[in-house]
Each structure stands twice: as C-alpha cells, then as structure tokens.
C-alpha cells in the first residue's frame, strides 16, 4: 500500500497524519527554501522561517519535540558568544589583539602573499586554500557552532565526529584542490 503510518512519539489525538512513503516532501521544501535564498527572492531568516512553518504544518517537523530536545546549555553558550564578540570589537580589544599579532608575525606581508610572490604566482589560490582550510571543520564538535549544536541534539560523542568527519574532510579537501587548480592555476 503506498500509504503507511510514520512512527510517532505522540499518541491519541496528537497522532500524526498518514503520509506517502519516503521523505521527499521535506527535502523538496527545504531545497525550495535554499533556492529562494540563493536567488535573492527573500532574506534567509524569512525563507527558512517559512520552511519551518510549512514543515510544521505538514507534520514533518514537530516543534514541541524539537524544542524539548535542544541542548540548552550549548545554545545559551553560543548565544552568549554574540555579545561577547561585539564587546571585543567595540572596546578595542580586537585591535589590541590584532596589533599584538602583527608584532609576532613576520614584518613583511602575510605569508600566503609572500610565498606566492616568492614562487612567482598570483596570491588568490593560496588565499582561497587558507580560507577553505579554516572552514573545513568536520572532525571535531568544537570546530564550528553548528557541530556543537548537533553534538548535543543527536547525542554524538567526540569520536563520532572523527569517524564521520574524515571521509567528508578528505572529499571536500580534494574538491577544493581540484577547484583551485581549475579556476586559479
């Protein structure tokens, strides 16, 4: 039969509706949200708010369960980092730290630009490689705030990030190297 009852943690009058097999509809709704943002039709906060409402309305997202399963200490820590970052910037601490780094680093231009000029190449590929290297953070839960949130929500352990992250890290790194050579070298 093409219709089956999805598993539900709810019972009684809150039981979920019958849905077609597969999870295609939520994926399509989310993809539509991404496309809306990609084509500048709507700002991200509105587009993904709409995605959330559609998924909640269709029963594919249970907000009450989602809020109950949030790891509040991690969420509060991440929220507290926003005003902390603003405070570091507005008090001038960021300038003091940056100035201190200048005294530790070589007095010449940044290393990537120095290496590029030493070997006679444009600095863009090296700068892109540095940016990608800084953002490829699949191996630890502390590399990015999204990893930290998912660690709490999914009850992942530190080792889980290493186990699942190394193939992704290798794949993204290889794609990055191929892309840098294809577009900049």
Q: State the residue for tokens 């009850």.
A: 155
Same-domain status, 114 and 101: no
Each residue of 46-61: pLDDT tens digit? Answer: 999 999 999 999 988 8
Same-domain status, 60 and 84: no
What's the CA gap between 177 and 78, in Å, rounded?
A: 32
Same-domain status, 80 and 131: no
Same-domain status, 115 and 184: yes
Same-domain status, 114 and 143: yes
Other CB atoms within 10 Å distance of the CB of residue 125:
18
Helix, strand, coil percentages in the chain from 3-state DSSP, rounded to 5: 70, 0, 30
Global confidence as pTM: 0.48
Same-domain status, 19 and 63: yes
For the chain, what is the domain count?
3
Each residue of 34-91: pLDDT tens digit? Answer: 999 999 999 999 999 999 999 999 988 888 887 887 778 878 887 888 898 899 999 9
What's the CA gap between 67 and 48, in Å, rounded?
A: 17
Last residue of a domain, one of 52, 80, 105: 105
Query: Whole domain around residue 84: which residue ranges?
Result: 70-105
Other CB atoms within 10 Å distance of the CB of residue 165:
19
């Amino acid at each position: 039969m093409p219709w089956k009852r999805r598993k539900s943690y709810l019972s009684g009058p809150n039981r979920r509706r019958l849905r077609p097999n597969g999870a295609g509809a939520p994926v399509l709704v989310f993809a539509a949200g991404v496309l809306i943002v990609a084509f500048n039709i709507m700002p991200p906060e509105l587009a993904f708010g709409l995605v959330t409402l559609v998924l909640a309305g269709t029963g594919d997202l249970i907000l009450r369960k989602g809020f109950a399963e949030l790891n509040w200490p991690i969420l509060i820590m991440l929220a507290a980092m926003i005003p902390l970052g603003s405070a570091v910037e507005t008090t001038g601490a960021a300038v003091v730290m940056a100035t201190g780094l200048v005294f530790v680093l070589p007095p010449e231009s940044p290393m990537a630009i120095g290496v590029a000029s030493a070997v006679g190449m444009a600095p863009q590929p090296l700068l892109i490689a540095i940016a990608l290297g800084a953002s490829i953070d699949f191996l630890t839960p502390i590399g990015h705030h999204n990893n930290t949130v998912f660690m709490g929500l999914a009850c992942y352990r530190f080792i889980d990030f290493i186990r699942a992250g190394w193939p992704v890290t290798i794949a993204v790194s290889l794609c990055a190297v191929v892309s840098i050579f294809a577009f900049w070298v």
